[in-house]
Amino acid sequence: MFGLFGSGKVRQGGSGANVKADGSSVDLVLYKYDSCPFCRRVYRTIDQLGVNVEYRDIRSDFTHRQALLAKTGRATVPCLYIDGEPMFESADIMRWLEGQFQR
């Protein structure tokens, strides 16, 4: 299941752009790797909420790892970029997603 979300692929959890509860739109990019248990927790939340996210696998594409490291000084996942700003920690990411997209 999770192997489908490789480098640079967009997981269509819903249709159209990501529109938050306040009506604004947001661009989401998740740096991850498939065997990471914390990433899998975030995947489930994304799927439940129907959110569109671009996945960037740091193990299958070394350039994604390098970009994450260069931008944040860290190569840990999951890392969700929200309109270009990084957020680490699966619990924080899930809480933010639920707060913005809960239906």
Give the fold, CATH level 3, of 27-101: Glutaredoxin (3.40.30)
The residue ranking higher by pLDDT, 53 or 13, is: 53
Average pLDDT over residues 65-73: 96
Sort strands 9-12 and 18-19 into parallel, antiparallel or unpaired.
unpaired
pTM (2 d.p.): 0.82
Average pLDDT over residues 52-71: 95
Question: What confidence tens digit (pLDDT) does each residue in 6-27 have?
Answer: 444 555 444 446 877 777 888 9
SS3 state at 44: helix
Sketch the domain layout of the chain as residue ranges. 27-101
